[in-house]
Chain A
């Protein structure tokens, strides 16, 4: 029911039309933690051999640079003893080029960093493909913005969860949308992307990923914490959002981030 969140945003928009100003506010800085962005994506009709995992550390809230972790050991293993070693390239990006994606198999992530072992395990979540992409000019609350609609058919026999990633290459902006079929199970439905700045000839890279209910929940919480939803009388309570990766050596020093494996469809769309 993410759409109802729009409603909360709207409430904020009406009630908060008053006066907003950017202020200087000193913030305390918490001790840095390891951040693991381990999203292994297997695009439809590809081998899925090339994968990457990104490691960094948390920084001060106003810092502009990320703080990459370059000296960790990163391995993904399967129960049959397959071992995929991810090697560091640059800026905390670790890659593997002979990854072997298979459904219904458990993959285990193991990271050794500063003598502490971080682990997690997960398996691939399938995704149906994008049916087609449509466009209209009735997006946003004003119904005047350009809007890109991604149509897909939800499988009827299960509860599905999706992550849509809209990357506006021209504007270099990313928008994540999560979708659950609770109220639309088995239907052909659309997820749309629009904002005031969307213009003709903008190049939008769209991916649609199948995700687990737990990862959906994780993203749901992240979104409610994230930038644009903060503040206002309808703000939800800020919280520490923990993912599915455990520090085996020192549980107190838990990491942020998530290990997940998704099948995905992707396409590029030029706004008309």
Chain B
């Protein structure tokens, strides 16, 4: 099948290259960089107005376009940079590299600033959100900690399961359904301190792009969204440092040339430091997080470039040396950019990534370790075939090792026996091609196919069950019970125990009425072979990942989206509205009271269910002027259903659809930034959301001396509505200073009217009176913050 696919691809290219290459044209290509640091820029517009042609730079700053012989004007523009206009005469294949300068504020308003974050009307790309780091850094945030994921929550279709919940939910999808890539490497857990902060150091990030739908064939392995983050390369011109001191954490970043104009390094560190004060106060407890980003870039020659990236982050909790908990991600990758020809750009990535969770409980006497490791090789091609066709194709291979847990005694006095949950292994590969096809002046399409395969490899102690049924329904008692394995087999790791293959078609179409109005439609099917085993309201750091296999099927998504897009006044304002429907098969659900922790036989407590989500998204933005910002509104529904396997079985929640834990009917965010003068700017955001679904008790009874609540249908109640207003101000003492030590202050107030938003409502017996009561928990009241940022 793989060979057939390659043959098909080849045929495809041949047809394209033969049929459409009649006119005498040459290739113009190059790399666009930031003039001050030589960093490549992603998504720069290169436009040849008289030819009505254009292209944007890829993730590595590269572009390629076909032009007829002759003299052309080339316009190069990028948000936050001064535009360039160049005249170029083309008589052969030509390379045009360009360096753009950041638009500096002291030039006043004379220069045409290309600050317009207007919409790309003609591209079939839809359901995509980009946020510039500049925008993110100005938004008010809790404790003043600039946070990429928290900023994404202000966009339509993106939400989370409450303040302090980890991860994020896209269009009613679960947290584990987001593919989070940092320099092309998968990040398995995006949160620090459970969910209060995200693991990305904003200073080290160059570009952020979130795909909520219409996901190109290049991406796969998760069904809800792709968050594609690229780290900065480092300055290959001169040494620079920047940093910041905040309430929770401090940051420092250093970058500079290794070989002038050719090689650069970047090192960034961030750490929280509240624990240091605890130490000073002789408090033996501590809780902190840190992360480290590194990047090395070296340009070998015009055709070859090497990039090395690393990320290492940890959260540490230490309570009295009695309870020690460490977890986090590590990522290393090596990439090789190579130009095969003027129109074929390739990137080969070799990636290692892991997530580790460790716990020592001295009072119980055990050590616990779990995690997931993966090794990933990707080879991606960008092929700029001609005016009508741009191709992307490539192959991805990933090897996974899952460690669901290992328990060991801390010392010889411990009553704990050594116990190892069985490691699992798997191989995932995918071949894809994707075509961006300009069908006519009005219609552009992006279509592609991803063929993914998942091989579950041999392992020790693979359980076998009677009738291949690991979970038994007891009809008399109406409960699900774990089946006892009838035997266990050990299978060599070179053998495949289960194979899944999926064809994942992707299609997106754009029809533009004119230069500023279009409608777009998309369909994508995606397969997800990994599952985060979690049955709490929001995932916890100790949840383990499990592969698909004999008992767990891959999740399969079908998503449709339709949208209307419009720029007003040459992109000064823009409007995006979309409706979407998605349907996910094989979403596992957990039987009542399933114990997931240290459970070696997860298959005995899960049932196969499905989810669906649909909604309307609306985003109106003001992109220019001293006042910028947006209004985002989402109306949506996200539900889950797990019926019984036979008509007799009751399934979960009696087989009825129920709202997912993160379903929010209405979600409104209003964000505004006002550039008051060179020294001051002000930002505000307001959020209003329907309360999260919860289950309230409908009664109680007494059993063995304790009071037991009786619950109604799952998630049939709602917490009170959530809303808050945040303000922030940025002050730059010496805005005219371009070199040397520069600084800025950020002042913020989170939740300014101190709304006590319910994070949860719990039901309990009052310790003193013994009466039952409902207790509302609110996490963040009004929180002022100050952050000091500097660079030199």
- Contact partners of B699 in chain A: CB under 8 A: 29-30, 32-33, 58-61
- Contact: A230 with B705, CB < 8 Å? no
In the complex, whether A165 has a CB less than 8 A from a CB of chain B is yes
B698 to chain A: closest residue by CB: A30
Residues of chain A lying within 8 A (CB to CB) of residue B771: 62, 64
Q: Evaluate contact between B702 and A232: CB separation under 8 angstroms.
A: no
Tell me if A20 and B702 are in contact (CB < 8 A): no
Q: Report how far A64 CA is from B773 CA in the complex, Å.
A: 11
Contacts of A234 in B (CB 8 A): 536-538, 540
Kindly list chain A residues whose C-beta atoms are within 8 Å of the C-beta of B772. 61-63, 227
A79 at the B interface (CB under 8 A): no
- Cβ-defined partner of A143 (8 Å) among B363, B417, B593: B363
Question: Whose C-beta in chain A lies nearest to the C-beta of B595?
Answer: A220
Residues of A within 8 A of B710 (CB): 30, 33, 58, 61, 240, 256
Q: Check B300 for interface membership: any CB of A closer than 8 A.
A: no
Whether B706 is near chain A, meaning CB under 8 Å from some CB there, is: yes
Task: Please state if A242 and B477 are interface contacts (CB–CB under 8 Å).
Answer: yes
B704→A176 contact, CB < 8 A = yes
Q: A28 contacts which chain B residues (CB < 8 A)?
A: 696, 698, 712
B169 contacts the other chain (CB 8 A):
no
In the docked arrangement, what's the CA distance between A226 and B700, Å?
10
Measured CB to CB, the nearest residue on chain B to A147 is: B363
**Interface size (B, Cβ < 8 Å)?**
84
- Name which residue of chain B comes closest to A248, CB basis: B476
CB pair A143–B706 under 8 Å, yes or no, is no
Known: A221-B593, A222-B708. A11 touches B416 (CB 8 A): no
**Please, which residue of chain B has its CB at the minimum distance from the CB of A186?**
B417
Chain B contacts of A224 at CB under 8 A? Answer: 593
Choose the segment among A1-9, A70-78, A97-105, A109-117 that binds chain B (4+ C-beta atoms closer than 8 Å).
A1-9
> In the complex, what distance in Å separates the CA atom of A29 from the CA atom of B696?
10
Q: Complex: how many Å from CA A256 to CA B477?
A: 11
A44 is an interface residue with CB less than 8 A from chain B: no
What is the bound-complex CA distance between A233 and B160, given in angstroms? Answer: 11
- Please determine whether A165 and B537 come into contact, CB atoms closer than 8 angstroms: no
Given A231-B763, A239-B711: A187 and B415 interface contact (C-beta under 8 Å): yes
B695/A237 in contact, CB under 8 A = yes
Q: Decide yes or no whether A123 CB sits under 8 A from chain B.
A: no
Closest partner residue, chain B, to A5 (CB atom)? B597
- Which residues in B have their C-beta under 8 angstroms from that of A201? none
Q: Which residue of A lies closest to B696 (CB)?
A: A27
Residues on B with C-beta less than 8 A from A228 are 764
Does residue A183 face the partner (Cβ distance < 8 Å to B)? yes
A246 adjacent to B162 (CB under 8 Å):
no
A188–B762 CA distance with the chains assembled, in angstroms: 37
Instruction: Choose among A10, A233, A257 the residue that contacts B164 (Cβ–Cβ < 8 A).
Output: A233
Which residues on the A side are within 8 Å of B415 (C-beta)?
Answer: 184, 187-190
Q: Is B592 an interface residue (CB 8 A)?
A: yes
User: Once bound together, how far apart are the Cα atoms of A138 and B364, in whole Å?
Assistant: 12
Q: Shortest CB–CB separation between residue B766 and chain A, in angstroms?
A: 8
State whether B708 touches A11 (Cβ < 8 A): no
A182 and B419 CA atoms in complex are apart in Å by: 9
> Given A1-B597, A4-B598, A238-B714 in contact, is the A257-B703 Cβ separation under 8 Å?
yes
Does A89 lie at the interface of the complex (its beta carbon under 8 Å from any beta carbon of B)?
no
Closest to B194 in A: A15
Find out whether the CB atom of A165 lies under 8 angstroms from the CB atom of B704.
yes
Identify which of A29, A60, A188, A240 gathers the most chain B CB atoms within 10 Å of its CB: A240
CB nearest neighbor in B for A187: B415
Contact A233 B709 (CB under 8 A): no
Contact yes or no, A141 B323, CB < 8 A = yes
Q: Determine the residue in chain A with the shortest Cβ distance to B712.
A: A30
Within 8 A of A (CB), among B161-219: 161-162, 164-166, 193-196
Would you give the shortest CB distance from A264 to chain B, in whole angstroms?
Answer: 12
B774 is an interface residue with CB less than 8 A from chain A: yes
Distance A141 CA – B702 CA, assembled complex (angstroms): 29
Which of A56, A64, A182, A238: most chain B CB closer than 10 A? A238
Chain A contacts for B777, CB-based, 8 A: 16, 18-20, 231-232
Stretch in contact with the other chain, from B265-273, B314-322, B486-494? B314-322
Known contacts A220-B595, A239-B593; is A226 also within 8 Å of B708 by CB?
Answer: yes
Assembly CA distance A35 to B756 (angstroms): 38
- In the assembled complex, how far is the CB of residue A96 from the closest CB belonging to chain B, in whole angstroms? 19
When the two chains form their complex, are residues B698 and A246 in contact, meaning their CB atoms are under 8 A apart?
Answer: no
Indicate if the CB atoms of A220 and B593 lie closer than 8 Å. yes
In Å, the complex CA distance between A21 and B592 comes to: 29
B61 at the interface (CB under 8 A from A): no
Q: In whole angstroms, how far apart are the Cα atoms of A242 and B10 in the complex?
A: 61
| Contact A29-B708, Cβ < 8 Å, known A231-B763, A233-B194, A246-B476 | no
Proximity bits, B761-790, A CB within 8 Å = 1, else 0: 111111000111111111111000000000
User: A244: CB under 8 A from chain B?
Assistant: yes
Identify which of B368, B701, B779, B780 contacts A59 (C-beta below 8 A): B701
**Contact between B709 and A184, CB atoms less than 8 A apart:** no
A36 to B705, CA, bound (A): 13
Q: Is the CB of B703 within 8 A of A37?
A: yes
**How far apart are the CA atoms of A225 and B708 in the complex, in Å?**
7
> Beta-carbon contacts of B319-347 to A below 8 Å, as 1s and 0s?
11011010000000000000000000000
Q: How far is the CB of B339 from chain A (nearest CB, A)?
A: 48
The answer, among B702, B756, B760, for a CB contact under 8 Å with A66, is B702
Q: B464-483: which residues lie under 8 A (CB-CB) from chain A? A: 476-479, 481
User: Are B774 and A23 interface neighbours, CB within 8 A?
Assistant: yes
A-B contact pairs, 11 of them (CB 8 A): A1-B598, A4-B368, A7-B325, A18-B759, A21-B778, A56-B701, A63-B700, A141-B320, A222-B706, A227-B764, A233-B760
Q: Which 10 residue pairs spanning A and B have beta carbons closest together?
A: A231-B762, A221-B593, A30-B698, A239-B592, A227-B764, A230-B762, A238-B711, A231-B760, A174-B705, A35-B701
Interface residues of A (CB under 8 A from B): 1, 3-8, 10-11, 14-16, 18-25, 27-30, 32-33, 35, 37, 39, 56-64, 66, 138, 141-143, 165, 167, 174, 176, 182-185, 187-190, 214, 217, 220-222, 224-228, 230-244, 246, 251, 254, 256-258
